[in-house]
Structure formats: structure tokens, C-alpha cells
Amino acid sequence: MSTINQLFDFFLPRFCNSCRNKLSTKELFLCEYCISTIKRADSELLNHEFNRKFYKDKIISDFTSLYIFQKDQALQNLVHNLKYNGSFRVGIFLGKLIGKELQNTINKWNANLILPVPLHHLKKAERGYNQSYYICKGIQKYSNAKVYTSIIQRKRYTESQTTMDLRERKNNIENAFQISKSAMVKSKRIIVVDDVITTGATITECGKLLLDEGADMVFALSLAIAE
């Protein structure tokens, strides 16, 4: 199999999504050097961010994230390709990284369901898919929980939140979602997944709806956290 892969890479070389150097047969999407430059989120930071983003609302029971999101760095380049260049396989790759590296925490949660933060149908049609769904598919390989895409639905189109502060994000996302299958969440332990968590407003809004519909506990999981 290695020889076949080497032949494919010879005739159809693959390049790192960040530095654009040629990938080796064993590398996927990012070269080993670029992966090594991505900052990991340590336990001290995660505790701080949980207290800052989630503790006060008492909605998200626990949360974890693999990386720290940094602008104009390797991870942003990879996420950009996932979201805007049709590279949905990047999502599965990243989900597997999350699942492998954070498996102990995910297993501790003992969740029944994994739900991606939904896109509005217009944005999904424009992009072609929901990037968080493919991240969930990768995570599922390391969890007994099942991935569902239609339990949380985005009923209202929202403006981009890139330049918004926390208050503006909460106002922007308020009443933007609905639960379509209430019976499926009752008494369940649920992981809600997003690609990057910034203020936590989106996942908190999803978590609130899930608890209102009878979910037992809601956990937040992401590829990266923006400080």
C-alpha cells in the first residue's frame, strides 16, 4: 500500500495547506512542521476559558478544545480550506485529531449524542456542507455517541460574528435555533461541536435549548478556542 501511495504522490503530489511544501506519503493536509507550530490548549487555559465563557450561565457542564486559534497561522489556513474551499475531508481529519487527543475527556462525559452547530440552510447551500458535521464524523470514530445533524436547526440567518463583541454575539444568535426532535434529546448527555469557539455564545444558546427540551447534560467541544 505504501508503494501505491508513493506512486500517487509522485504523479499527483499533495501540498501542505499552510506552507505549500510537498507532503510526504504519511502526511495529510498539513506537514509535520506546520502541525508542530499549532499551539495546544493546556488544562490551565481551558479552566480559565470555561470560567470566562460558560460558568456563569450554568448551561454547559464541561468543555474542552484541542488547539488555540491564531490568525494567519497554520490552523487558520486549514480551517479556511475546510470552510470555504470545499475541502470537507479536512473536517474528518481534524475530527480524528480531536477524538484521538481528547479521547479521555470525551469518554468521561459518557455522551449519547454528538451534534454539530448547524448552519442556516442558505449558508449551507452556499458552502455546500456544514464543516462541523465532518468534524463530528471524525470524532465519532473515538466515541460511542452517535452523530445527528437535524436535531438542532438554525431557523434564522445571522450576520457574521467575526467582528462582534460578546454582547453583540449574544444578541445576534438569540432565538436563531430550534430543536426539531425533542424526544431524541430527553434525558440524554449531549456534546455540541463547533470548529472554533470564540465567546461561547453560539454553543451556549444551543445548550440552553437542549436543556429546555429535557437533555440531561450538555458539553462543548471544539477544534480550537480563540482567546
Reported as a single tens digit per residue, the pLDDT across 107-133 is 999 999 999 999 877 788 778 889 999
Is the pLDDT reported for residue 5 higher than 70?
no
Is the pLDDT reported for residue 11 higher than 80?
no
Higher pLDDT, 76 or 155: 76
Q: Residue 166: what are its φ and ψ, rounded to 5°? A: -60, -45
Neighbours of 6 (CB within 10 A): 11
* Sign of the dihedral defined by the CA atoms of residues 177, 178, 183, 186, in that order: positive
Output the pLDDT for position 96.
Answer: 96
Higher pLDDT, 179 or 166: 179
What are the tens digits of pLDDT across the range 51-104?
999 999 999 999 999 999 998 899 999 999 998 888 899 999 999 999 999 999
First to last CA, the chain: 42
What are the tens digits of pLDDT across the range 15-48?
999 999 999 988 999 999 999 999 999 999 999 9
The three grid cell numbers given for residue 200, joined into one nine-digit string: 461561547
Name the nearest CA neighbour of 99 among 41, 141, 148. 141
The three grid cell numbers given for residue 195, joined into one nine-digit string: 470548529
What are the tens digits of pLDDT across the range 187-214?
999 999 999 999 999 999 999 999 999 9
Distance CA 36, CA 190 (A): 31
Distance CA 144, CA 107 (A): 8
Output the pLDDT for position 68.
Answer: 96
Mean per-residue pLDDT, 217-223: 98
Is the pLDDT reported for residue 159 higher than 70?
no
Output the pLDDT for position 9.
Answer: 56
Cα–Cα separations (whole angstroms), residue 54 to 63, 115, 148: 9, 18, 24
Distance CA 101, CA 68 (A): 14
Cα–Cα separations (whole angstroms), residue 164 to 67, 71, 155, 201: 22, 16, 21, 11
- Nearest 10 degrees: CA dihedral of 38, 207, 60, 123? 10
Pairing mode of beta strands 177-179, 152-154? antiparallel
In this prediction, residue 1 has a pLDDT band, given cuts at 50, 70 and 90, of very low
Is the pLDDT reported for residue 161 higher than 70?
no
Share of the chain above pLDDT 70, in %: 91
The three grid cell numbers given for residue 171, joined into one nine-digit string: 444578541
The three grid cell numbers given for residue 33, joined into one nine-digit string: 512542521
